[in-house]
């Protein structure tokens, strides 16, 4: 009976030892697996620097051969610093514009200021038969208007009239005669632009008898002067 008990106890001990050994093996294999998993990734994550350089160089070469790459470089969006640099000093950019006024612009400005003060007038001579005109003065005083009227009458053999304007930049249709009537109200205003009137002229044409006689008179006046010399 004692022998049977001892055999039973021995069998229980053997079973216990075998179970412990199996559990140790299972734990050892489980602990080894994470170590392999943690140790493997660094090996797989290591990359070849030479291979990366070749890939980068290949991409850069493809970009150089691409038209879209160069088009993006030339676009204004690819240069964001251009606008801020221009706007850094607005006073410097405005300085050349202010100093770019020409003497002609200054002269025009001074004439306009004088005309606003009522000190000068722009005068033109108008041929009444077709509305043709030519300038007489650009800054004539009020006392010089009569003199401009005489110049106008002496410059043309056909009937003429002097028109004036205080604003040097005023168009012809806004100019007035001595009675305050506008040029645009003249019946023959701008007729010369659309039609040619043969008898409307300031001087006879060179091929006409009147002009030939006048030139012949000039020649007769020159001959006595040559004989006196």
Coil, helix or strand at residue 140: strand
Return the number of other C-beta atoms located less than 10 Å from residue 139's C-beta: 16
Structure tokens at 108: 């025009």
Return the number of other C-beta atoms located less than 10 Å from residue 56's C-beta: 10
The residues spanned by each domain of the chain are: 104-193
User: Quick one: pLDDT at residue 164?
Assistant: 97
Provide the mean pLDDT of the chain: 72
pLDDT in tens, 21-53: 555 555 555 555 444 444 454 554 555 555 555
Residue 160: band (very low, low, confident or very high) from pLDDT cuts 50, 70, 90: very high
Nearest to 133 by CA among 182, 172, 176: 172
Contact between 152 and 160 (Cβ < 8 Å):
yes
User: Quick one: pLDDT at residue 113?
Assistant: 47
Q: Give me the count of residues in the chain.
A: 229
Contact between 115 and 121 (Cβ < 8 Å):
yes
pTM: 0.43
- Residue with the bigger pLDDT between 26 and 15: it is 15
**CB-side neighbour CA atoms (13 Å) of 24:** 6
């Amino acid at each position: 009976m004692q022998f049977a008990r001892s055999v039973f106890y021995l069998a229980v001990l053997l079973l216990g030892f075998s179970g412990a050994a199996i559990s140790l093996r299972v734990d050892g294999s489980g602990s080894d697996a994470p170590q392999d998993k943690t140790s493997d990734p660094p090996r797989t994550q290591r990359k070849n620097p030479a291979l990366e350089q070749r890939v980068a160089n290949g991409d850069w070469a493809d970009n150089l051969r691409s038209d879209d790459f160069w088009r993006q470089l030339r676009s204004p969006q690819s240069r964001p610093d251009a606008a801020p640099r221009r706007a850094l000093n607005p006073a410097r950019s405005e300085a050349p514009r202010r100093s770019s006024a020409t003497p002609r612009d200054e002269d025009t400005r001074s004439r306009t200021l004088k005309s606003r003060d009522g000190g000068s007038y722009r005068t033109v001579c108008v041929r009444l038969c077709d509305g043709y005109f030519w300038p007489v003065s650009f800054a004539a005083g009020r006392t010089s208007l009569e003199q401009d009227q005489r110049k106008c009458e002496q410059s043309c053999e056909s009937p003429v009239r002097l028109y004036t304007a205080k604003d040097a930049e005023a168009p012809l249709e806004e100019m007035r005669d001595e009675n305050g009537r506008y040029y645009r109200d003249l019946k023959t205003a701008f007729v010369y632009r659309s039609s040619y009137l043969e008898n409307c002229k300031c001087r006879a044409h060179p091929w006409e008898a009147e002009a030939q006689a006048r030139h012949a008179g000039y020649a007769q006046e020159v001959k006595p002067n040559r004989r006196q010399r």
